[in-house]
Structure 1
Amino acid sequence: MKLVITATLAATASAFAPAASTVRTTPSLAASLNGWTPDESAFAWGLPGSLDPAPEFDPFGFAKNTDLQTMKKWREAETQHGRVAMLAAVGMLVTEEPIEYHPLFEADNKDIGPAIRHLDEVRAVEPLFFLAFAAFIGALEWNRALKGFSKPEGEFEFQQIEDDYYPGDVGFDPLGLKPKDSADFAVMQTKELQNGRLAMLGAAGMIAQELQNGKEIFVNLGLAQDRFDPSSVPIQF
């Protein structure tokens, strides 16, 4: 676990280094696809995400001879899973010892335990909130489907991506961080992808660790006191 966290922090910093872009722009596609022109001869159809020291990393050859529609679906899935994993990785560390910030629990009265069981506690104490939370996630996914996926009519393929939809660009940018220049956008997306990939590995490692012994991350690292009493929560560990 120490190696996972160290590698995550180190590689996250390197992800903010300038990245070479393989994006090719044309005036006709610059507005709809953020300057990206699909290039069958390029790795992953020229999508951003390749970064030194391991450019075009694809040991199992998933991107080889892959059609454009499939490649866009894979990039859409990778981007969304990376975003969720980044939130999960930060959320797990913040809600556990020694920080223990959680808007749903009175952490000052008792230790709330490992983050992998927090939603179980929510469901046990307040099922309606859990259902509302699930409905909120469903609404976000519904909006993403309307934004980027084709309607099931005519010649339709399951999970068919719209031709003018750039994978992951759901239009959510409340802080206005999205670059207008296509080259800058490619660099920013590469950073997002790299951090998302690391977060998926990091979150998976933390979840596996907590499932293995039921202890919080910093407790496992010896950096926090283990104050958790399983009998203090309405679920079985």
Structure 2
Amino acid sequence: MNFSIATAALIAIVPAVNALAPVFTPDATAPVFGLPGKPFNTDYMFDPLGLSEDKDYETMKQYREAELQHGRVAMLGALGMLITEEPIEFHPLFESNIKDIGPAIRHLDEVRATTPFFFEILVAAIGGYEFNRALRGWANPGDVLGSGRVFKEGYFPGDVDFDPLRLAPADPDEFYELHTKEINNGRLAMIGWAGMVAQELVNGKEIFVNLGLAENRFDPSSVPIQF
């Protein structure tokens, strides 16, 4: 159990492939200063709300950092929803892998009931990761309301120097292409995860059950909290 908890906590905070990014030179004439990550392979930048209008390069890097980190969490979250529900039902943090714990929107109830200290471990692990990210990327992370929001010179959004699988290519063009794929997959995951959660909140059924690809074996009376 302890191994499973520690493993899950680490997986929950693992970033993706942005490690040791090559030097990036911003282009003031290009949308969002030429940062990689356009959703379409054209010169058109999709920004219907105008969030990037009249923003300086430092602000756009902050936006990209936030978007990238949320996308990474969403990719892990979407995958986690699917593998812990029918028909896979892999949930090592719970007492029994043969117990059907229903849709992902109910899983935290079960975690708190069977492994109550997991949340404290997870918060500590996330805090450690965020502390390391702040030290690596921010010029003065201790000054939250002032210069602490400014990145270090040469810091590329998402580059937390973590790439155990050596996925990041050394060639700048290949690196930025991989970065574009990562951020676009993250955007898709954020939309997809939100959609899956919304669907489960509507009818309380698991994703593959909704798709007709799995049997609905969930008994709501079996979970710790009833609603």
TM-score interval, smaller chain: 0.7 to 0.9
| Aligned counterparts of 2:113 and 2:152: Cα–Cα separation in 1 | 40
Question: Is 2:86 the counterpart of 1:89?
Answer: no
Question: Is 2:112 the counterpart of 1:123?
Answer: yes
How far residue 232 of structure 1 moved from its aligned partner, in angstroms, is: 1.2
How far residue 135 of structure 1 moved from its aligned partner, in angstroms, is: 1.2
Question: Is 2:215 the counterpart of 1:236?
Answer: no
Amino acid at match of 1:224: A
Amino acid at match of 2:165: L
Where in structure 2 are the equivalents of 1:12-23 lying within 5 Å?
none
| Aligned counterparts of 1:109 and 1:215: Cα–Cα separation in 2 | 18
- 2:199 alignment counterpart: 209
5+ residue gaps, structure 2: 1-19
Conservation of the 8 A alpha-carbon contact between 1:105 and 1:112? no
- 2:35 alignment counterpart: 47
Conservation of the 8 A alpha-carbon contact between 1:48 and 1:186? yes
- 1:6 alignment counterpart: none
| Aligned counterparts of 1:97 and 1:106: Cα–Cα separation in 2 | 17
Structure 1 residues 94 and 177: CA distance shift in structure 2, 3 A: same
How far residue 119 of structure 1 moved from its aligned partner, in angstroms, is: 2.1
Conservation of the 8 A alpha-carbon contact between 1:113 and 1:216? yes
1:142-162, Cα deviation, whole Å (9 max, x unpaired):
111111112245x93352222
Report the TM-score, using the length of structure 1 for normalisation: 0.80
Aligned-pair Cα RMSD in Å = 1.9
Amino acid at match of 1:168: G
Structure 1 residues 206 and 95: CA distance shift in structure 2, 3 A: same
> How many aligned positions are there?
205
- 2:25 alignment counterpart: 37
| Aligned counterparts of 1:87 and 1:33: Cα–Cα separation in 2 | 22
| Aligned counterparts of 2:110 and 2:39: Cα–Cα separation in 1 | 41
1:105-128, Cα deviation, whole Å (9 max, x unpaired):
255432011112212221222222
Structure 1, 137-146 or 81-90: larger mean CA deviation: 137-146
| Aligned counterparts of 1:82 and 1:198: Cα–Cα separation in 2 | 8
Where in structure 2 are the equivalents of 1:25-174 lying within 5 Å?
34-52=22-40, 55-106=44-95, 108-151=97-140, 152=142, 156-174=146-164
| Aligned counterparts of 1:203 and 1:71: Cα–Cα separation in 2 | 25
- 2:11 alignment counterpart: none
1:182-204, Cα deviation, whole Å (9 max, x unpaired):
11111000000110000000000
Identity %: 60
| Aligned counterparts of 1:161 and 1:221: Cα–Cα separation in 2 | 44
| Aligned counterparts of 1:99 and 1:33: Cα–Cα separation in 2 | 36
Conservation of the 8 A alpha-carbon contact between 2:94 and 2:114? no
| Aligned counterparts of 1:45 and 1:53: Cα–Cα separation in 2 | 16
Conservation of the 8 A alpha-carbon contact between 2:137 and 2:160? yes
